[in-house]
């Protein structure tokens, strides 16, 4: 009897040890939504890391101070997807239309230069609603150091919510177009992804390309991009990979390359190339009108 009890006790003890060891080696269940969100943020976080470095800041001398007169738009508020208020520089169409151009700032913030660019696109396109998003919630950088600080503290989830809110604000029947430079070029492409079937055309100036093939495959509109062959953010190699990935994804991408460096379309930058800028703008307008 004692022997049977001892054997039974040994079996129970062994089973308990095996169960404890099994629990110890198991990982918590992975939440699919969290994995998708992580993948969705990969490109944005890569840009954030790059734009927080002095080498990147060196590509961006302090912007010129401009004092525009008679701007066409005004600041307005709307609800972001996270439930918080967001803001944008808004120029309403002269006549009611479902065509919306979302303009996205450089890493400096929604400064007067971007407002002037918004006016320029509005005047060239005709009847369209133009909405230049304030991605920094009111903050504007005047020096490379202050821009780096803004990038280091940037909440990419909040920025995604701002774009999602702008798309919702435009309405379910709106055709969404987008344009942006550098930081804004990267987010312009992300806008095409976030807008889904509402996306009708996207313009990106030297923005970081998306590398996630699933996201590229989800794009529902044509893309046009403008890049400098002397640029390293993104480099020509990154642009080549972007072209290949878009082709493999079965998407239409028109790449335009110039013998120019980063920021060639901004008059504040020593790399400003007026010839390339004029050509890129003309092609951007032709592209948007065609779509």
According to the model, what pLDDT value does residue 86 have?
98
Query: Tokens 């600080």, residue?
Result: 149
- List, for residues 93-112, the tens digit of each pLDDT value: 999 999 999 999 999 999 99
Pairwise CA distance, residues 190 & 41, whole Å = 10
Domains of the chain, earliest start first: 54-290 (3.40.50.1820)
Rounded percentage of the chain residues whose pLDDT exceeds 70: 86
According to the model, what pLDDT value does residue 270 have?
87
Q: What is the pTM of this model?
A: 0.85
- List, for residues 8-45, the tens digit of each pLDDT value: 444 444 444 444 444 433 434 434 334 434 445 688 88
């Amino acid at each position: 009897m004692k022997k049977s009890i001892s054997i039974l006790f040994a079996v129970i003890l062994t089973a308990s040890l095996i169960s404890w060891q099994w629990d110890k080696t198991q990982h918590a269940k992975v939440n699919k939504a969290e994995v998708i969100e992580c993948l969705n943020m990969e490109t944005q976080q890569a840009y954030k890391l790059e734009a927080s470095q002095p080498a990147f800041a060196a590509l961006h001398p302090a912007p010129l101070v401009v004092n525009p007169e008679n701007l066409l738009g005004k600041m307005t508020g709307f609800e972001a997807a996270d439930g918080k208020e967001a803001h944008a520089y808004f120029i309403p169409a002269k006549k009611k239309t479902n065509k919306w151009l979302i303009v996205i700032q450089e890493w400096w913030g929604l400064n007067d230069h971007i407002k002037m660019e918004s006016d320029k696109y509005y005047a060239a396109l005709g009847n369209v609603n133009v909405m230049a998003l304030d991605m920094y919630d009111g903050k504007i950088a005047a020096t490379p150091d202050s821009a780096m600080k803004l990038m280091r503290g940037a909440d990419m989830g909040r920025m995604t919510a701002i774009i999602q809110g702008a798309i919702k604000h435009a309405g379910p029947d709106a055709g969404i177009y987008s344009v942006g430079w550098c930081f804004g070029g990267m987010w312009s492409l992300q806008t095409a992804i976030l807008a889904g079937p509402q996306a009708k055309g996207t313009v990106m100036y030297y923005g970081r390309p998306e590398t996630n093939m699933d996201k590229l495959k989800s794009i529902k509109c044509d893309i046009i991009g403008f890049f400098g062959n002397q640029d390293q953010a993104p480099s020509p190699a990154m642009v080549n990979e972007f072209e290949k990935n878009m082709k493999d994804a079965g998407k239409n991408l028109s790449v335009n390359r110039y013998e120019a460096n980063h920021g060639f379309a901004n008059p504040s930058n020593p790399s400003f190339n007026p010839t390339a800028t004029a050509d890129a703008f003309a092609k951007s307008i032709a592209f948007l009108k065609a779509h």
